[in-house]
């Protein structure tokens, strides 16, 4: 089974201090109790939003709960006990574009990841 959730952080200007709160915009369509759940995330950074999601899902009694992420920045983590089990790449604190990652709706279509360098754009 494949499900999608949508979260929104609020209470801060983009790119600044961590969000003041998190809202669940789209919830799961079905129950997860007794099921093995893997949350697939693009980037794990501070972990605040992911922590909210993990705690919310844990209340629904899954058999197991793990996180898979393409890009991980563990040195920026503000939450210690995230179940990040599968990591594609541990990356530096730089902006990545391409392979679906964008900057103001640009560069998303690049076939691979690139570190964004403003002087090269």
Q: What is the pTM of this model?
A: 0.83
- 15-63 pLDDT per residue, tens: 555 556 899 999 999 999 999 999 999 999 999 999 999 999 999 999 9
Length of the chain: 121
Residues classed as catalytic: 45
Domains contained in the chain, CATH given: 6-90 (3.40.50.2020), 94-121 (no CATH)
Q: Report the alpha-carbon distance of residue 90 to residue 102 in Å, rounded.
A: 19
CA distance 26 to 24: 6
């Amino acid at each position: 089974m494949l499900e999608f959730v949508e979260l929104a952080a609020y209470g801060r200007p983009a790119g600044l201090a961590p969000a003041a709160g998190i809202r669940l915009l789209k919830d799961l369509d079905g129950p997860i109790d007794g099921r093995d759940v893997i949350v697939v995330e693009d980037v794990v950074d501070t972990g605040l939003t992911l922590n909210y999601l993990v705690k919310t899902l844990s209340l629904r009694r899954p058999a197991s709960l793990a996180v898979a992420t393409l890009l991980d920045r563990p040195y920026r983590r503000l939450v210690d006990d995230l179940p990040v089990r599968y990591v594609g790449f541990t990356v530096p604190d730089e902006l990545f574009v391409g392979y679906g990652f964008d900057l103001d709706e640009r560069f998303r279509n690049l076939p691979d990841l690139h570190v964004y360098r403003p002087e090269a754009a």
